Structure 1
Amino acid sequence: MPAATALRRLLPQPPLWKPPLWVAMYHSITDTADDPYRVTVSPVRFARQLHWLTDRGLRGVSVRELLDATAAGRAKGLVGLTFDDGYADFVDSALPLLLRHRFTATVYVLPGRLGGENGWDTAGPRKPLLDEDGIRRIADAGMEIGSHGLRHVPLTEADDATLAAETRLSRELLEDMTGRPVDGFCYPYGQVDPRAVQAVRGAGYRYACAIDPGPHTSTYALPRIHIGENDTAARLAAKRVLHPLRRRRPADLVSVPSAPATVGAP
């Protein structure tokens, strides 16, 4: 057997394999002096990371835009930008920089903790969360608003009533608040299992983000790359190269299903 033929048989072949979507995961954009969970990026570092994307002809977009572009075959050069937990610092620290680069992003917020703080981070500093006005300002600026649940609880440990509230009720509250459809969900702590996926689908979302969902990878459990303060240009380049090699299930990563016409209890 010729060597070239043997090599082709070893390599992934279309249409069964497609490069995974590149989705970056941020949290808080502020001072990094006290950051035990490594969820904070300084505004200076964040600005440099956005410049790194721009210098390489890449454009940051919301996950909704990334999935729509992928379905239409025009996602080349697009990078999904996501911000978990709905920190209030997004308005003053992240939003101006995104707008300067003409980027969009998806911000996953907690309608059950409006104007509150990150009480789930027991070892970290208390950080204020977005209130209703802040969420509206972000939506009006062209960013996508998604749900991170009601109060940031792990869905894999939730009972049925809590699971329904965290998925379906949080979506309803955000749609009433913004006057816009809420298509995306983000699993708190990145924890996902088939029951959580079923609840998210049943609540009417079009997609959901996880962190490293492994065998659960799909449009309802998209993998993401953590971006932190230490991610310089060299580290970003390495993450961009290594991301396609991460474990994934290629199927169901291109088409974005429509929301169910009837939303039932999970």
Structure 2
Amino acid sequence: MYHSVDDCADDPYRITVTPQRLREQLRWLRGRGLKGVSVTDLLTARARGGGRDLVALTFDDGYADFVDNALPVLRRWGFGATLFVLPGRLGGTNAWDPAGPRKPLLTADGIRHAAAEGIEIGSHGLTHVDLTTADDATLASEVHESRAVLERLAGAPVSGFCYPYGSIDSRAVTAVRDAGYAYACAIDPGPLTGLHALPRVHVGQNDNAVRLFLKQRLHRLRRRPVEGLR
């Protein structure tokens, strides 16, 4: 689970890795015989009984630096990824973060560019709202409208959803499933773990080779397995 790829001078939420650190982390994956792919590609491979050498790479929030800084590194290694964006904040900033620097978000053209480069586009909701505290109308809009806008924008089906803040409850999971998403990403969903509450590992600037190795091992121990994807 990545977010922004840029300078890390002011990063109170630990959402940023530098391009150099991203290169090192992807080189580490390649060195272990692993390939970064989109979530859909990983799930498809696992459903066929394969995919043991694949890792899904996700980038939350749709920061504008994805196109300039992350995409060239992914191309260098021949990796894919899933980019979860906010169609209700096109060309805006991460205004939901009360502290820390304002980071620009992708415009419609930026999202189209990423999609044209083979990056899977997924929904992060419309405006980065905690779905567990949203009223029924807001929940429906964040889940349904965001998908419709993105499908028109990217010119392709949108199969994946990512819960803002990683916050989930059974109501949010049900809403996402009923909206027709094939999968959804959380962080550590506990008993709700499943195709619509996939666990992920946060990756940050301090994650060198040793920390990545430990995170890989601990992820297998701490996270409940997703049924059918063991």
Pick the TM interval, shorter chain.
over 0.9
**Deviating 4+ runs (over 4 angstroms):** none
TM-fit CA distance, 1:132: 0.2
Structure 2: gaps (5+ residues): none
Counterpart check, 1:151 vs 2:117: no
- Alignment of structure 1 residues 1-266 onto 2, 5 Å: 25-251=1-227, 253=229
CA RMSD of aligned residues (A): 0.9
SS at match of 2:57: strand
> Is the Cα contact below 8 Å between 1:149 and 1:186 reproduced in 2?
yes
Tell me the percent identity.
65
Query: 1:219–1:252: 8 Å Cα contact kept in structure 2?
Result: no
CA positional deviation for 1:56? 1.2
Look up the equivalent residue of 1:193 and give its one-letter code.
D
Shift of 1:253: 4.1
Q: How far apart in 2 are the matches of 1:253 and 1:111?
A: 30
Is contact 2:198-2:226 (8 Å) kept?
A: no
Q: Which runs of 5+ in 1 are unaligned?
A: 1-24, 255-266
Deviation for aligned residue 1:89: 0.2
Rg bigger for which structure? Answer: 1
Instruction: State how many pairs are aligned.
Output: 230
Instruction: Give the Å deviation of 1:242.
Output: 1.3
In 2, distance between residues paired with 1:203 and 1:63?
18
Deviation at 1:191, TM superposition (A): 0.4
- Residues 31-64 of structure 1: per-residue CA shift (max 9 Å, x gap): 0000000000011101000111111110000000
Secondary structure of 2:121's partner? strand
Distance 2:226 2:124 in 1: 25
TM-score normalised by length of structure 2: 0.98
For 1:134 and 1:247, the matched residues in 2 are separated by: 34
Deviation at 1:29, TM superposition (A): 0.2
Q: What's the CA shift for 1:247?
A: 3.5
